[in-house]
Amino acid sequence: MDGHTADKPAVTDDHPVVIVGGDAAGMSAASKLKRERPDREVIVFEKGDWVSYGACGLPYYIKGEVESLSDLVSIPPEKFRSERGIDLRTNHEVVEIDTESREVTVERHEEPDNESGTETITQPYGTLLIATGARAVEPPFDGMELDGVFTLHEMDAAKEIREYLGLETGGDSEAAVNARSVAIVGGGYVGIEMAEAFAAHGLEVHLYEMLPHVLQPFGEETAEVVENHLDEQGIDLHLETAVEGFLSASETDTVETAETDDKSVAAIEAGGQRMPVDMVLVGVGVVPNVEIAETAGIETGSTGAIATDEYGETNVEGVYAAGDCAEARHVVTDEPDHVPLALTANRAGRAIGSTLAGEPTPVGPIAGTAVLKAFDLEVARTGVIDPERARSNGFDPVSVTISAPTRAHYYPGGVELQVTLVADAASNRVLGASIVGEEGAAKRIDTVATALSAELTVPELEKLDLSYAPPFSPVWDPVLTAAKVLNGKLEPSGG
Amino acid sequence: MDGHTADKPAVTDDHPVVIVGGDAAGMSAASKLKRERPDREVIVFEKGDWVSYGACGLPYYIKGEVESLSDLVSIPPEKFRSERGIDLRTNHEVVEIDTESREVTVERHEEPDNESGTETITQPYGTLLIATGARAVEPPFDGMELDGVFTLHEMDAAKEIREYLGLETGGDSEAAVNARSVAIVGGGYVGIEMAEAFAAHGLEVHLYEMLPHVLQPFGEETAEVVENHLDEQGIDLHLETAVEGFLSASETDTVETAETDDKSVAAIEAGGQRMPVDMVLVGVGVVPNVEIAETAGIETGSTGAIATDEYGETNVEGVYAAGDCAEARHVVTDEPDHVPLALTANRAGRAIGSTLAGEPTPVGPIAGTAVLKAFDLEVARTGVIDPERARSNGFDPVSVTISAPTRAHYYPGGVELQVTLVADAASNRVLGASIVGEEGAAKRIDTVATALSAELTVPELEKLDLSYAPPFSPVWDPVLTAAKVLNGKLEPSGG
């Protein structure tokens, strides 16, 4: 695992390293490469204004807990340029890659402070990193084009949502001025985090999910806890409800008034019912931005994202891909997967930066670890939870769901934590877990994520020496209790 | 690791399983054995009144966060008897073990509701489990016998401390009536937890530690953070200060009054200075209760605790030992160690219960994982941190100490967490860690504890897919950041 044995050559050619996309993966790679090899020329083309920003923070910006969009930026563009020596070019969109002549075609868009208009340039590269990220899926619903219908993946969308709500003064209990109700389409991370954000501003929130449960990758046991909690928080849940489309006021049956318009959304149609709403947020997932790569003959895998080897290199020599546009190897299934999350992007970018600096470094596997805050709940997952998926990967899944307190029974303030733990009955290997509760779920999932990487069995998980003190855990941590119960199921007593 | 391959025979003899000691290890063993083999006769002799109690909760009982001592009891004695079918005999002290004739001599002490006085009985056993626990060290200080000088390991001592303070109504902000100041001798878990408890009742607290730092097993980087915090909380720290003894009022230079007595403590002498105090708590560690075992020819190891094999069996066939009186194998050093903590005791007891039920089960290794609350801090450790100890075990230790936030930089409420990570330079294997901060230290140490059991290297630790969401972690969890920095130290760039 130390990377020294690999056969990737250091980059020695005279052309610069070119990086397409200036977010987590791209800027991590650029920074690491320049730190190790200040002599290398590194050009980053970013089509938008923003680089190195935390898209995961957008719901909290909309909620009002994060004051300004620029707070989400880790490192400002000037710093990348002046302190790190990276030739970072914002508002530059790579529109074509030529892997034969090793050059990219770039369109420079008009910037607010630059009236020279669009310009097209050609840039040769020695090595290319594709870090084009992903974009929100825009399903072909009727009315997607109406005002007040949003998706959320870009910084600017978040700003527009706050403007549409009429939020100005800031804070997470400021009442929205222009909207009293919102329909959220999709019960994934974005949908649930945005339900919290909208509710904070006093909106009536209708959440639509096509599947029987929200948060599909977390398993139904965890989803049910979240659904009950959303219900308690006043969110109107519509499960197993397919959305048909969105209507403007002029298309609905409501009486027309002077304010009636045919441009703004006024209702959602779903499951054969019409619900009047002032706004819609569509959060049904993301798709990797692979179009320019595919056109250039760079292969995508079965997930639709760009296929890479363990160093992040694509099928074309000297062309790498990382972050939300690329696949990664799953530590449990050992197969390529596409889990577009921030740590994966940062890590892969950094590893590729090291490799290009002459120290071949694998990008590392993923475990699909994820956590979100859903109002007062921490909701976490890792590995393979879905039994069908486990079976399709050759496992014989068996699971338990237990509930255990987060603190010693006598210590004040503890809450119940629900742990679902999944293992392979044949090998006893731990496959995945999901944890939900009002405290201590987020970081407890890391114990299981570590166990997955180490390929621990359930008996080995049960034997871990985890921390105990009355304010922080019962003697048997809930993860150990789940392992103990699952172990009883795997290994018949007296057997 | 599934235990099926072991060669321990199931217990088949006609005499009962006898267990000496009714706390965590003893009652876990009894419960597991009876659950698996209801037909087996299991007798537990407990010399005191209390069984199955959480001694770790005593500081919180004294502080007032736990209302009554009986709240600390997990399972009441009646339940062990009626529901679990265990022949539990409280106020029965085993005074001798005869491993030749396989019998124990037991003194039944006078119980409050039983006026028959002391009685001596002899009880044959088929298998014996020694679970006699540990007791507070009582150093030979002058004045240890004075009223107002306490150690804290037993339930009754906690009650006496509250009575001595004059605490009655309950709650954690009730002012002490009978004492305004206290000297705590020893800066370990008990000393620091009790500093918090005494301070909550308005006492002026003087904490004496002989070594240069408190919390020696946590390493000096963590200790310094704790010391600063104790100082901020108004605790008067006396480091590198050896205690000489305690004085009564009649022995001090203060003017004698009608209240002057020669039975109660009035001052502490330490480091050549005399400090007037109304009370003393001595918390300088525990010693295993091994005397009856040693007399019977049962061997102790180099730590002073009872030596056992991987199933918890001692050098005498059919005699097991578990809990605070026994050694356990350390997962990093692979050597016997004595870390008397609750999870180790519970786990070993349970494993021995399974083994005696016919399913040989190793007691499992320990990692020395521990956590405590020190006022507003979470303070956690695992593995081998002390460089000298690491070297004595054949390692070449290298470590880093980093500080990183507990949440995304833009998410409100995050604090800095300090992580010290230690590895072996030769193998890159992770050896131990210590984490301190106002949130998120306790459960993050579990990631490292898991890595220790799995014998992960630092590059492997750095590659873990840990959970990220703005409210719970930065993109790179502080543990990953520590691994990243340590990895840079282990693996020279470009090497």
What pLDDT score does A426 carry?
96
pLDDT of residue A112: 58
CB atoms A369 and B467 under 8 Å: yes
Q: Looking at the structure, tell me whether residues A229 and A156 fall in a common domain.
A: yes
Q: Catalytic positions of B, please?
A: 56
DSSP letters along B16-83, please? Answer: PEEEE--SHHHHHHHHHHHHH-TTS-EEEEESSS--SB-GGGHHHHHHTSS--GGGGBSS-HHHHHHT
Whether B292 and B407 map to the same domain: the answer is no
Instruction: Select from A446, A480, A487, A489 the residue whose CB has the most chain B CBs within 10 Å, as the one to mutate to test that interface.
Output: A446
Indicate whether B276 and B328 sit together in one domain. Answer: no
Contact state of B494 with A357 under an 8 Å Cβ cutoff? yes
The pLDDT of B475-492, averaged and rounded, is 92
pLDDT of A5 higher than 70: no
* Residues B178, B117 within the same domain: no
| C-alpha separations of B305 from B93, B98, B290, B314, B347 in Å | 20, 19, 7, 11, 17
Q: What is the pLDDT of residue A386?
A: 97
pLDDT of residue B116: 62
In a shared domain, residues A340 and A438: no
User: Are B45 and B104 spatial neighbours (Cβ–Cβ below 8 Å)?
Assistant: yes
pLDDT score at A107: 96
* Model pLDDT, residue B262: 85
Look at residue A83 and tell me if it is in a domain. Answer: yes
How far A20 CA sits from the closest chain B CA (Å)?
22
Chain A nearest-CA distance from B196, in A, is 13
Domain harbouring B352, CATH code: 3.50.50.60
Q: What is the pLDDT of residue A249?
A: 87
The secondary element (H helix, E strand) that includes residue A182 is: strand A181-185
Q: Do A411 and B464 touch (CB under 8 A)?
A: no
Q: Residue A93 domain-assigned?
A: yes
Per-residue pLDDT reduced to its tens digit, A127-160? 999 999 999 999 999 999 999 999 998 889 999 9
Q: Is the pLDDT of residue A342 over 90?
A: yes
- Residues B261 and B159 occupy one common structural domain: yes
Please report the pLDDT score of residue B226 as a whole number: 98
Residue A290 shares a structural domain with residue A278: no
Note whether B386 and B481 are same-domain residues: yes
Domain final position from A282, A308, A341: A282
B369 CA to chain A: closest CA distance, Å?
A: 5
Asked if the structure places residue B413 within a domain, the reply is: yes
- ipTM confidence score: 0.94
The alpha carbon of residue B263 is apart from the nearest alpha carbon of chain A, in Å, by 35
pLDDT, position B109: 85
Residue A337 scores a pLDDT above 50: yes
Q: How confident is the model at residue B260 (pLDDT cuts 50, 70, 90)?
A: low
CB A410 to CB B453 under 8 A?
Answer: no
When CB atoms are compared, the residue of B371, B428, B463 closest to A364 is B463
Which of A303, A407, A320 shows the shortest CA–CA distance to A355?
A320
Q: Cα(B400)–Cα(B431) distance, rounded to whole angstroms?
A: 12
Confidence label for B114 from pLDDT (cuts 50, 70 and 90)? low
Taking each continuous run of H as one helix and of E as one strand, the counts in chain A are 12, 25
| pLDDT value of residue B3 | 40
**Position B224 in a domain:** yes
Instruction: Please provide the DSSP assignment of B277-319 as one string.
Output: -S-EEE---EEE--HHHHHTTPPB-TTSSBP--TTSB-SSTTE
Choose one of B327, B356, B385: the last residue of a domain: B356
Question: Is A364 part of any domain?
Answer: no
In a shared domain, residues A267 and A315: no
Per-residue pLDDT, A172: 85
Q: Which of B364, B428, B475 sits opposite A342 (nearest CB)?
A: B475
Domains contained in chain B, number:
3
Among the listed residues A35, A54, A56, A124, the single catalytic one is A56
Quote the domain boundaries for residue B118: 17-134+286-356
Nearest CA in chain B to A24: B475
**Is A495–B372 a contact, with Cβ atoms under 8 angstroms apart?**
no
Q: Is A32 a domain residue?
A: yes
Please report which confidence band the pLDDT of residue B254 belongs to, taking 50, 70 and 90 as the band edges: low
Does residue A365 belong to any structural domain of this protein? no
| Per-residue pLDDT, A40 | 95
Judged by CB atoms closer than 8 Å, whether chains meet at A450 and B445 is answered as no
Q: Determine, for residues A36 and B494 on separate chains, whether the beta-carbon distance falls below 8 Å.
A: yes
Closest CB to B450: pick one of A36, A368, A450.
A450
Residue B468 has its nearest CB partner, among A60, A341, A362, at A341
Asked whether the predicted pLDDT for residue B1 surpasses 50, the reply is no
Contact: B447, A444; criterion CB under 8 Å: no
| Selected residue of A331, A369, A379, A450 to mutate for chain B interface (largest B Cβ count, 10 A) | A450
Nearest chain A residue to B494, by CA: A359
Min Cα distance A162 → chain B (Å) is 18
Which DSSP string do the residues of A313-368 spell out, in sequence order?
A: B-SSTTEEE-GGGB-EEBTTT-SEE----HHHHHHHHHHHHHHHTT-------B--
Do B117 and B159 have their domain in common? no
Are residues B294 and B258 located together in one domain of the fold? Answer: no
A27-36, B172-181, B205-214, range with the lowest pLDDT? B172-181
Contact B476 A343 (CB under 8 A): yes
Contacts of A57 in chain B (CB under 8 A): 408, 410-411, 470
Examine residue A164 and state whether it is found in any structural domain, yes or no. yes
Structure tokens at B321: 């030992």
Report chain A residues whose CB lies below 8 A from the CB of B362: 463
pLDDT at residue A347 greater than cutoff 80 = yes
Cross-chain CB nearest to A475 (options B65, B343, B473): B343
Domain boundary (A296, A321, A356) is at: A356
